Each structure stands twice: as C-alpha cells, then as structure tokens.
Structure 1
Amino acid sequence: MSDHLPGLPTAEWPYLQILVRLALSLALGLLIGLERERRGKEAGLRTFGFICLLGALGGSLGTAFSLLVLALVGLLVVFLNLQTLRAGEGTELTTSAAMLVTGMAGVLCGQGHTISPAAVMVIATALLAWKERLAGFSMGLTEGELRSALLLAILAIVIYPALPRGAVDPWHLVEPRAAWVTVILIAAIGFVNYVLWKLYGDRGTELSGFLGGLVNSNFTVIELSSRVQQAPQAFVQPAYRGILLATSAMLLRNASLLLIFAPLVLLGSLPTFALMLFTSTALVLWSHRRGQAPRPASPATLKLELPFSLPQALKYGVVFLVLHVLGGLTQRQFGNLGFYAVSVLGGLMSSASAVAAAATLASQGSLSPSVAATGAVLASFTSLVFSLTFVLRTRHAPLIRGLATAMLCVALAGVAGLLVADAVQPWLTQWAAQLERSTAAPSP
C-alpha cells in the first residue's frame, strides 16, 4: 500500500527560514503574554505565545489560512469575554484587542516580515505596561493641551496636502510644503518632549531641566533662574545642573533635526555636537560629585507653554521661512559669511528653525554640507549664549560665574569640534562623492 495519497500536493519549507519566523513569532507572543501574566489575566504567557505561533503558521501557508487564523483568534476572544462575563468580572476589551494584534503580528512574521511585527508588539506591550501612567496622564490633560494635539493633527493631515508642491517663486527659495513639513516636525518634537516632561518632569530638578530643554530651553532657563531668586542658597547647584542639562537638550534636539533633514550635515558637525554634549555632561557629573550645596526640599516645578498652538506654529513657520530665504539670498550675494550672519541671527529667535533652515538649504543643494553644518553650530552657539542672559537677571554672582565658566568650556569644546570637523572634511567629501556615484550607477 502506498504511503502517499495520490493527487494531494506537498510542499517543503526552507528549514532555517521557517524556524526563524516561528522563533520570532514565539518571542513576540511571549513578550506581550508576560505582561498579561504579571497582571493576573486569564490569557497570559502561553496563550499569547500560541496565538502568535498560530498566526505565523497561517501567514506561512497563505492568505486563506491567514484569514482563518484571524477568525479563530476572534472566536477565542468571544469565548474569553463570555467566560469573564459569567464570572461577573466584565469584559476584557484590552486583552481582546491585544490578542487580535498578536494574531496579526504572527501573520506578518509568517509572511517574512521582521521589523514591522516587532515594532507593533513592542508598542502594544508598552501600551499595556504603561496603563496607570497613561491613564493618569489622560486624566490630567487640560483642555488647552487637548486642543494643542488636535491642532497639530489638523495642520499635518488637513493643511499639508492642500499646499502646492515645489517652489512658488522665481528664485526657487520658497517651497510651502517643505516649510510646512519643517513646522510640523519641530512642533511634533516639542509635543512629544512635552508629554515626556509631563510624565517624568517631577522626578527632580535636573530631569525637569533636561526634558524642559527639549521643549523650550529658553523658557526652562527662565523658570530655573526664577527659582534661584526664591531660594538662592538651597537651589543654586540644582539650578546650575538643570540649566546645563537644558542647554544640552537643546544641542541634542538640534542634532536630531540635522539627522532628519540632512544626515550629511550632521556627519560634518557631529564632532562639534558630540564634544559640546560631552563637556556639558561632564560638568553636570562633576557638580554632582562635589555635592557641597544642600539639595532643595522639593524639585523645581516648571511652567512651560502649551506644547503646540497656532501662534507658535505661525512663529516657527515665519522664522523658518525668513531664515530660509535670507540664508539663500545672503549666501548668493555675500558668500558663506552672509549665511553665517543669518544663522547667528536665527539662533537669537529660534535655534531649531535656524538649524532646520540650514539643513533644508543643504538638502536642496543651495549650500554645501560643511557650510550648513557650520551655520547650525553657530545657531546653537548663539542660543547657548542667549540663554546665559536670563541667568544674569538672578544677580547671583556664584551662579553667574559658574554658568559663564561652564558655557565657555562648552563653547571651547564646540570650537575644538569645528577644527576636528574641518580636518576630516576632505575625507567626508570624498566618501560622500563615492556614495553618490555608487547609488547613481546603474544596476547590472
């Protein structure tokens, strides 16, 4: 008698490939199942592991089996909720949604995806694990903050598609869509940082200073300086560290903008930003190790502006557009020195807008990456020095001397970084040219 039935198709999966897919699905299912198990849910570690494995098998078998698996997971969700209702515990809506997401992620793993299902499952696990913190944040959300989030969504989803594409002026300097993307990106970064500040900003003056600096470094310095005037003896050292961390956050935010808009510009200015951040961090750690001044009884309570508002959006847009146009025109008329002057001026108004303008000009080919990098560094320098003027209002000589010395050290580190960047610039230019030739070469 034959061992195989005639007419039935057979298929063999590549052993290593299917093993990797199943292992990834199992790991992701156990990740979210571990969180559910810790909370004492009926569907825990093993259930979510099985669901993700089942989804991977369905995804590997094809579309029909994938739909069958999702239907089975939906049926399992129905049985789970019926059981909890009979026990008088109510419905398990969050766990049910997590099971459906897990099944879909398993299907993606079975189809050969790796990054997307992993990202989805990490996000889903974070949403489950941060239940209390997210609930507390939503309950403490003010009406103004909610309007701020809705306005950001409207500007990004409604207004952006209606803007014209490309340049609208004969000099090819004004591109409404590019300018609006920059506005939305800067505002979104500020909004996310505002959320982080609201979640974790009450952990201490130093952490408040850093997270506040990501939102708005100048307002953070003003708030910390005002606290020094209220309690000068107990708050000097924490304010010193908080202001340094606020300026460090400003540098980190500007470097992130360069990474998003023009990575080659960041590559040219990376030694400068790295040395400035290292120096600022070292000064903060050194202040911690000294520990001479008593700590304040309570951390600073910063009062920052709303994360996003229409006047703030218009301010970012106008500043960016003015700096973008002036930077391009002055560079054409007066060379690099004209652009550097505009960058310094932009640092006084908004270093984020000035850095974004420099990166955008470089990405459009109006500036070389090295010139744009120097302009971004100059804007950051100007913002750093400008923040020191707010400390002068405290009239506290030890704090002023300490921060002036610290800012000078950070600035000298930035100058050293500029020299290093200038020394490696020929190598970077050669590497960029090789990369451009390799990407432009036709594939065989």
Structure 2
Amino acid sequence: MTVAASGVNAAGADSIDKWPYLDMLARFALALALGLLIGLERERRKKEAGLRTFGFIALLGSVGAALGDPYAYIILAFTALLTVFLNLQEFHLHKGTELTTSAAMLVTCVVGILCGKGHTLTPAAIMVSATALLAWKDRLQGFSIGLTENELRSALLLAILAIVIYPALPVGTIGPWGLIEPRAAWATVILIAGIGFVNYVLWKMYGARGVTIAGFLGGLVNSSVTVSELAARMGKSRSRHEIGAAYQGILLATCAMLARNTVILILLAPGAAASACVSFGLMLLASAGWALFGRKPAGPNLPDESHGDGRTSLALPFSLWAALKFGFIFLVLHIAGIVTQRFLGDVGFYLVSLIGGAVSSASAVAAAASLASNGSILPGVAATGAVIASIASVAINLPFVFRAKNRQVSISLSIAMGVIALLGIVGVPLGVAGMSLIDVYFPDLY
C-alpha cells in the first residue's frame, strides 16, 4: 500500500489513503450520472456506443483525474483511440462514420475528468448542453436548412456589434464635463438590433402569438424600441390576426415599462413609491386592461390570414441604419440632459426627468429614486419626477405608432396612450393629497 501511495504522490495526486471517501464517491457518482445521461440519448437512437459505454468513459475520466493529471491524459488518449476504432468499424460495416458520437465520447471523458477534480456545476452544465444538442438534432437541422443568407448575415452583424465593437469602446465618460459615454450609446444600438432580432425569431417560430410575448419582454428593456419595431412590422403585414397581436404587444410593452419603473421605485425609494402609487396604479390598470380586454382594430379590407401561401412576409431581422439613428438620438438627448442639469441645478430636475424619460425611463426613475434615498430631494419630488419620466416614455411612443400605416390602428393606439398619460397626470395630485393625509395621521410611517 505504501508503494502504491508513493506512486500516486509522484504523479501529483493525493495519497489514496487520504482520499475522503464520501467526497470521492460523490465525484464518481456525478460523473457516472452525467455519462449515463448522454448515453441514454445515444442508446435511444440505437448507436453502437450507448448507455454503458458513455457511463464507463465518464467514470474512467473521473478516476483518472483523481489519480493525477498523467492518468487523466492517458484516459483521454484511450478514449480518442476508442473513437477511431468506432469510426473504422462503422466505415467497414455501413460505409459511414460516427463523428457526432465520437465528439460526444470525448466531451464525456473531459466532463468525467472535471468531476474527478471536484467540479460540479461546470461539468453538469456542459453535459446537459451536449445532450440537448444531440436530442434536438432534427430541430437544429430544420432551423439551419431553413436559414436564409440574409438571416445569417444579420446574425453575424449583431454578433459583431455586441462582441467585437462594444468591448473596444472606452469605458466611462469622455469629453468635457463627461458628456459622452460611448458604451452606453452603443449599448442602445445593440439593444435595438437585439430586440428586432428576437421579435423576428419569435414571429417566425410562433407566428402572431410570439409578438405579444416579444412585446411584453421588450417593454421590460425598452418600450420605445419595442413599440417602434412592432408598429413597423404591423405596417408591413396584411394579416388581421398579426396586426391584432402587434397591437396588443404594443400595449403590453407600455404596461411592462410601467411595471418595471414601479418596481425600481419601490426597491430604491419606498417613500417615493408611496407618493407615486396612485399614478402608477392608474396607468398600469389602464394599459393592462386595454391590452387584455380592449378591442383590437385591424383596419378595413384585411383578410384573416396572411396573403399568398399563408406565410407571413418577413423583412430582415433588424435594420442597422435604424439602430444607429436611435443610438445617435440617445446620445444627443443624454448630452442635453447633463448640460441642463449642470446649469439649472435642482430647478431643472423635472426637465431632466422629462428628457431622461424620453430616452430611458428606467434610468430616469432610478436616478430620482437614488436622489430621494440620499436625501438630496424630497420623496414627493422624486415621485413626481418618476411619473414625469414614465409619462414621457409613453408620449415619446406616439410618433412610433404611425409607422403602422393603418389609420384606425394608429388612432386607437394614440387614444390608449393619451388616456394612460392623462391618468398618470391626474394621479400626481391625488398621490400628494394621499401622502399629506398619511403624514397627518401617521407622521412616523416614513
């Protein structure tokens, strides 16, 4: 036993006598379970390497890693030789190869090695992802075959915007007074492109049903971008059902924006949230009620289904020019907001909230809440600023709804957003009156 233990130590591993039994058992059990997981999928497809083979490979990898790195390398090399033997046998019998199964065997061995070294979440995530790739073979093949050149080019362009250009931009502000923040402006460009791409994918995968989902999720990020995208697609559609879904998605985007701003205010400044609760409550009820129970106009003389062969005519996933234009507008408004705040001070707070709400209501609401929590402004002032920012976000969407190129739809959306904004304005004095009563009867509440 002493010789064996010395040999293990020479290889760079702990003495077998010092192996913690339960810990090592857990490592081996995890490796075996992950190997059986991917082996189950291969067994179901009646591959030569199945449940037992993958279980043994993962277990061997974990034992090799526990013994030391040289043993792990030997097990990995042995697995590679096994894949060569598997492909030679398959070529001899069926004149084909098992490249996917061979790659899965190598991944399984590496995952087993990670388990043997004590990793848990990383090998589990790798194996689940690998098994999903194998199980979704048919769907992935169908998606890749149906992918057009323009769609692939748009995906690559989006990746370049996010992965290549964004990290190369300077961090923080630049220029006099720190007026320009390149990464924030470029993030807006990526955001527009990303939401447009997600809407495109959802529309293509789920039809009109995916538009409402994209509307709400997009509204949580940027309601103006979402409204603009949905209105533009509404203008290109000739399906009554799709136009109705886009109409509902626009209202849900507004509802999601208001819900997000309410949560931000509650988390950062509860006192300000109490002052703004009437305004936000009225706007939320109006937007949600209009989206869920309101009549969805589709305009006259539109068929119930898409034209042609019943498929929706889709444009490109996103427009780079539109994304760059929106990013430029964001940059101009951002600079104007900083300059106004510097020259007007606290007097310009509401004006800054108005401008900030037109650009990013979430940022404006968070800024108001932060000032209130620091004691720089009163909670009531912060609440009013948050409401102004949210109303500005609703109002800034009005020009976008006319991209629908449908008079009935544009009028209906304009009325809905006008009512939502009006309720927000009416709620401000009601909230102030309510807080005054609370201060009288419960002076120590806040």
TM-score by length of 1: 0.67
C-alpha separation in 2, matches of 1:18 and 1:167: 51
State the shift of 1:341 in Å.
1.4
1:221-236 equivalences in 2 (<5 Å): 221-224=231-234, 235=240
Distance 1:14 1:336, change over 3 A: farther
Spell out the pairing of 1:73-222 with structure 2 (5 A cutoff). 73-184=79-190, 186-198=192-204, 200-202=205-207, 205-211=208-214, 214=218, 216-222=226-232
* 1:85 CA drift (Å): 0.8
Distance 2:61 2:79 in 1: 9
Q: Secondary structure at the match of 1:133?
A: helix
Question: What residue identity is the alignment partner of 1:145?
Answer: E
AA aligned opposite 1:243 = Y
- CA distances 1:231-290 after superposition (whole Å, capped 9, x unpaired): 7xxx46x7545532354357659989x9xxxx96794599999998898778777689xx
% of aligned pairs identical? 45
Paired AA for residue 209 in structure 2: E
Cα distance in 2 for residues equivalent to 1:163 and 1:131: 38
Inter-CA distance 405–179: structure 2 relative to 1 (3 Å threshold)? closer
1:429 is aligned to: none
> Which whole-Å deviations, capped at 9, do the CAs of 1:67-109 have from their partners, x for residues lacking one?
2232222122112211211122511222222222222222222
Offset, 1:169: 1.2
CA contact (8 A) 1:84 1:91 kept: yes
User: Does residue 248 of structure 2 align to residue 244 of structure 1?
Assistant: yes
- Contact 1:323–1:357, Cα closer than 8 Å, also in 2: no
Q: Within the alignment, does 1:337 sit opposite 2:322 as a pair?
A: no
Select which of 24, 31, 35 maps to 1:18: 24
Report SS of the residue matched to 2:173: coil
3-state SS, counterpart of residue 176 of structure 2: coil
Residue 42 (str. 1) matches residue 45 (str. 2): no
SS of 2:172's equivalent? coil
Unaligned 5+ residue runs, structure 1?
A: 289-294, 347-353, 424-444
Match of 2:317 among 306, 323, 344: 306
- Distance across 2 between alignment mates of 1:274 and 1:111: 54
Deviation at 1:224, TM superposition (A): 4.1
CA distance in structure 2 between the partners assigned to 1:388 and 1:415 by the alignment: 24
Q: Is the 8 A contact 2:80 2:106 kept in 1?
A: yes
Question: What amino acid is the match of 1:393?
Answer: N
Which deviations, in whole Å up to 9, do the C-alpha atoms of 1:161-184 show, x marking residues without a partner?
A: 543343221212313244334533
Counterpart CA distance in 1 for 2:371 and 2:390 is 18
| Structure 2 unaligned blocks of 5 or more | 6-14, 219-224, 296-302, 375-381, 436-446
SS of alignment partner, residue 171 of structure 1? helix
Do the aligned residues in 2 keep the contact of 1:29 with 1:102 (CA within 8 Å)? yes
Contact kept? 2:76, 2:106, Cα under 8 Å: yes
Shift of the 244–367 alpha-carbon distance from structure 1 to 2, 3 Å rule, reads farther
1:273-284 equivalences in 2 (<5 Å): none
Once structures 1 and 2 are overlaid, which stretch shifts more, 300-309 or 32-41? Answer: 300-309
Root mean square deviation of aligned Cα? 4.9
DSSP-derived class of the 1:395 partner: helix
Look up the equivalent residue of 1:40 and give its one-letter code: K
Q: How does 1:251-330 map to 2 (within 5 A)?
A: 267-268=267-268, 296=304, 301=312, 303-307=314-318, 309=320, 311-330=321-340
- Are 1:33 and 1:45, in contact at CA under 8 Å, matched by a contact in 2? yes
Q: Which amino acid is 1:326 matched to? A: A
- Following the alignment from structure 1 to structure 2, what is the Cα–Cα distance between the partners of residues 90 and 379? 63
Query: 1: distance between equivalents of 2:143 and 2:248?
Result: 28
Paired residue type of 2:318: P
Aligned 8 A contact 2:35 2:108 in 1: yes
Corresponding residue of 1:395: 408
Query: Which residue identity is paired with 2:16?
Result: T
Tell me how many residue pairs correspond in the alignment.
388
Contact 2:358 2:393 in 1 (8 A): no
- The CA distance in 2 between the partners of 1:90 and 1:153, in whole Å, is 35
Contact 1:226 1:394 in 2 (8 A): no
CA–CA distance in structure 2, aligned partners of residues 156 and 50 of structure 1: 41
Give the 3-state SS of the residue equivalent to 2:318 in structure 1: coil
